[in-house]
Each structure stands twice: as C-alpha cells, then as structure tokens.
Amino acid sequence: MNLGMLFCVDSRCVQLIREGSCVAFLLMALSAEAHEFWLAPSSHTLKKGQTVEVYAMIGHGEEAESLVRRSDHLKSFLVYNGQSSEPLTGRNRRLPTGKYRIMRDGMHVVAYESFPQLNELPADRFNDYLRKEGLDAVLAAEQIKPKTTGTTRELYSRFAKCLVRAGDGEGADKALGFPLEVLAVTDPTRMSEGATMVIQILRDREPMPGLLVKGFALASEEEASAVRTDEDGYARLILHHSGRWMINVVYIEPAEESANAEWQSYWASLTFEVPKMKLTE
C-alpha cells in the first residue's frame, strides 16, 4: 500500500509520490494500531550546509508509511546539534514532517514529541497489545486489572528520536527528559555490523528496569531482537546488519482520574544508521 511516499530504507533515499493535498494524513487513523513510530531522515550522514528532511513513520518493513505534519499532534520537533537546539520547519498536513539545515559538524539529535492522543480498542485487542509489548506485569497486577470485555480507552504519547551525523565532528546522543526515552550509550554511527550496542531506557531522566526493548533492522525481514532492561535501565542489542535500525519501547500506567481514559501509555523510539563495513584489499 502506498499513500504518498515510498521510503527506501536501504539506499538512503526518499522518493516522494505526491497524490494530492490530502495524501498520507488519513494514515493517522491507522496509527493507533501501529506501535512502531519512528523518524526517518533523508540521510543519516550529511555535510555542513546541507538540508535534511525528516519523515515521521508508522510501522516497519513493507507496511511502513509516512505521516504528514500535524499541528494538533505535534508538541515539539527539535534538533540538538551539541551546542544549541532549533525547531524543524514544515507545512501543516504536508510532507516532509520537518526539515532543517545543518550548520555545524558532529552529531545531531532530532526529537519529536506528540500531544497525548486518545485510542479506543476492544478489551481483548488491548490485552493482546499489552502481551505483544511485554507489559505482562500490567495484566498480572492486582490493583487495577485491564478489562476483559467492552472497550478500553488509552491516552498515548510518542517520543521519537533519530541520530544524524554531519562530517567528522564528534558528539553523542542526548538525554532530553521525555516521559519515556531511548538513549544511545554507545554511538551506533561509529559501529559496524555484528557489534553490540548499549542503550538505556529513561523515564523523566530516571532509569527504567524490566521494560521490553525491540530492535529492528529496517531493511531486513528478520524478526525483531528483543531484550529487557536491567535494574539500571540498560539493554544490549547485537546489530546484525548494517543500514538503518529502529529501537522502540512501550510503557503504560493507569491514567490520572481527571483523564477521560483508563490508561496512559508512552511509546519511544530511536533510529540510526550502522555504517557498511569497508572492504580491505
């Protein structure tokens, strides 16, 4: 299915196929079902002075689709260049979701934060989603149990980051203080396929133990690698392939009494590119 964009995850290219002014924003209706929300820059490796376009994506593999910029969904969309931050510009209900010009060498951390959105699911499908995301402790909790019949209302928020490197400058991922966040402890842009990447899952800058972390090689058909964070919120994933990767994690808790929902969930992701190994003679 293509509703306006083909995204080439294995060749660093974006081919846009415009199909009218309303293209792609209808995908927002599908987004509540798709837990993989991530950022795809036009390239993860650029030079100072170049402009990078960033696309908000739903799903992965052949089902991945781009989302237009939505002012009612987007709380903040910033890039951190190691010294300062600036917003990504863009037109409402248009692609790309945002863009910015690279003004210095080094690591750039692009971060997307959404407003909470309401999602309603039949109870059995909601419980299946909890199992899929490794949130078994919620299903087993004695204080507040998920429903087994009827409809479950959930407020969900998304916190997506991607890493873009410019030139040979230094730099690293940055902890931003989101309610849920994936932090690259080791720099994947300096690693090669087969290496082990260390990440940390943070909630308001505090480590989160016991969460299921999934890693996807976006150009591969293999199942996601999955591991739980240790008591300090760390997880280690083997990067079996070069190319683009996505790491995501979900956390859920009972919603506040004032919310028009039973649950509040937080979905976080990090995307980056592992360089291809150079052949030696």
Q: Dump pLDDT digits (tens) for 80-138.
A: 998 899 999 999 999 999 999 999 999 999 999 999 999 999 999 999 999 999 998 88
SS3 190: helix
Measure CA 151 to chain center.
27
Phi (first) and psi of residue 149, to 5 degrees? -135, 170
Beta-strand relationship, 225-228 and 196-203:
unpaired
**182 is a domain residue:** yes
Number of domains in the chain: 1
Within a domain: 280: no
Residue at 40: amino acid letter = A
Residue 244 Ramachandran class (φ > 0 left, ψ -120 to 50 alpha, else beta)? beta
Instruction: Categorize the per-residue pLDDT at 59 as very low, low, confident or very high, splitting at 50, 70 and 90.
Output: confident
CA separation (Å) from 114 to 27, 93, 110, 179?
Answer: 16, 15, 14, 11
Q: Does 7 have pLDDT greater than 90?
A: no
| 73 falls within a domain | yes
Q: Which two tokens stand for residue 66?
A: 């781009």
- pLDDT value, residue 165: 96
Are 208 and 202 in contact, with CB atoms under 8 Å apart? Answer: yes
Q: Find the range with the poorest average confidence among 3-17, 145-159, 208-222, 260-274.
A: 3-17
- Identify the residue whose tokens are 């991530």: 38
Task: Answer with the residue of higher pLDDT: 11 or 257.
Answer: 257
Q: Is residue 213 part of a domain?
A: yes
CA angle centred on 55, ends 195 and 228, rounded to 5°: 40
Considering only 13-27, 35-49, 246-260, which range has the smallest mean pLDDT?
A: 13-27
Choice between 247 and 141, residue whose per-residue pLDDT is larger:
247
Spatial distance between the Cα atoms of 88 and 79, rounded to a whole number of angstroms: 7
Confidence of residue 17 (pLDDT cuts 50, 70, 90): very low
Mean pLDDT to the nearest integer, 14-27: 36
Provide, rounded to the nearest whole percent, the portion of the chain with pLDDT above 90: 72
Cis-peptide, bond into residue 96, ω within 30° of zero:
yes
Q: Please, are residues 212 and 238 in contact by the beta-carbon 8 Å criterion?
A: no
What confidence score (pLDDT) does residue 99 get? 97
* Cα–Cα distance measured from residue 205 to residue 183, given in angstroms and rounded to the nearest whole number: 10
Residue 123 in any domain: the answer is yes
pLDDT of 281 above 60: no
pLDDT band at 178 (very low <50, low <70, confident <90, very high): very high
As a whole number, mean pLDDT of residues 126-155 equals 86
The angle subtended at Cα 160 by Cα 50 and Cα 223, nearest 5°, is: 105
Q: Which of these, 162, 131, 157, 127, lies nearest to 145 by C-alpha position?
A: 127
**What is the pTM for the complete model shown?**
0.87
Query: How do strand 225-228 and strand 212-217 relate by DSSP bridges?
Result: antiparallel
- What residues make up the domain containing 264? 5-274
Residue indicated by tokens 């990767």: 245
Over 70: is that where the pLDDT of 279 sits?
Answer: no
Query: Average pLDDT of 195-206?
Result: 97
CB atoms within 10 A of CB 240: 15
Taking alpha carbons only, the member of 67, 271, 61, 59 closest to residue 165 is 271
